[in-house]
């Protein structure tokens, strides 16, 4: 008697599964091949804008400190501050574009993974194999539940579990600490559709602090990225928001 795994039906299902996997891999490569170039280009724009912001900030501070002594009469301090704010806004816009670009790719890849898992499950049911937890891909959507691993908590989950206000619901300075990895995650960290934070544009991990400027687009920052080793006392502004605030104070 021929074994089931050698039957034509089994071979056909295996071939279909292989083709589905091959198509998924092809789609994955096509989607991600333009990601590095896009990120390099836009991160270079942010770096260029940051250099302009720093240069203009220094210029404004110099003219502000000497405006009663030797500052040129034709130097418009207020217009320069306005330009500084405009450059900072442009940085935020580009950062948002990067986030949307990556988020779109992650959603597409998540959808491909779900479809592939469904096809594998259907093939097993047609073969009468039933559920085999050891062989089935473990895919957990962030819309339904978060993974227990470090860095896998979404902004919405943090808001519900930790009492942290979501974006635009600001109060006093807030910090958060990610859970330790319990070793139960079956997929690589950050493989699903997770929000990105901070200048580094990485998911939430370790200790983080929120900027108290309600207009700050990035809002959450990793301690190490902003040079913090402990939770700041009182109001805290990220470096970009602090620069703008200092420039406005210098004009006032």
End-to-end CA distance of the chain: 91
CB 189 within 8 A of CB 152: yes
CA nearest to 56, candidates 31, 33, 81: 81
Distance CA 53, CA 50 (A): 5
Pure H helices in 33-130: 35-65, 77-126
The conformation of residue 137, written as its DSSP 8-state character, comes to -
Q: Distance between alpha carbon 186 and the CA centroid of its chain, in Å? A: 21
200 is in an annotated binding site: yes
225 is in an annotated binding site: yes
211 is in an annotated binding site: yes
Distance CA 232, CA 86 (A): 28
Distance CA 231, CA 207 (A): 9
13 is in an annotated binding site: no
Tokens representing residue 87 in the block: 């450059």
Residue 103 CB partners (closer than 8 Å, separation 6+): 193, 196
Distance CA 107, CA 41 (A): 22
CA nearest to 223, candidates 242, 241, 240, 210: 210
Q: Which residues are annotated as a binding site for Zn(2+)?
A: 198, 200, 211, 216, 222, 225, 238, 241
Q: Which residues are annotated as a binding site?
A: 198, 200, 211, 216, 222, 225, 238, 241
């Amino acid at each position: 008697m021929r074994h089931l795994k050698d039957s034509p039906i089994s071979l056909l299902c295996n071939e279909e599964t292989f083709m589905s996997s091959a198509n998924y891999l092809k789609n994955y490569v096509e989607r991600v091949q333009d990601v590095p170039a896009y990120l390099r280009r836009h991160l270079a724009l942010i770096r260029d804008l940051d250099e302009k912001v720093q240069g203009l900030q220094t210029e404004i501070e110099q003219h502000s400190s000497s405006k009663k002594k030797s500052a040129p009469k034709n130097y418009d301090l207020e217009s320069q501050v306005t330009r500084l704010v405009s450059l900072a806004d442009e940085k935020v816009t580009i950062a948002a574009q990067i986030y949307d670009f990556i988020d779109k790719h992650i959603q597409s890849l998540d959808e491909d993974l779900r479809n592939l898992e469904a096809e594998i499950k259907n093939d097993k049911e047609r073969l009468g194999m039933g559920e085999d937890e050891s062989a089935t891909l473990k895919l957990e959507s962030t819309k339904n539940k978060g993974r227990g691993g470090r860095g896998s908590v979404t902004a919405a989950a943090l808001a519900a579990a930790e009492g942290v206000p979501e974006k635009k619901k600001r109060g006093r300075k807030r910090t958060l600490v990610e859970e330790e990895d319990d070793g139960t995650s079956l997929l690589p960290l950050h493989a699903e559709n997770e929000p990105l934070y901070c200048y580094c544009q990485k998911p939430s991990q370790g200790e983080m602090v929120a900027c108290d400027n309600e207009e700050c687009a990035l809002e959450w920052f990793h301690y190490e990225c902003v040079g913090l080793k402990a939770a700041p006392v009182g109001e805290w502004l990220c470096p970009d928001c602090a620069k703008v605030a200092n420039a406005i104070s210098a004009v006032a």
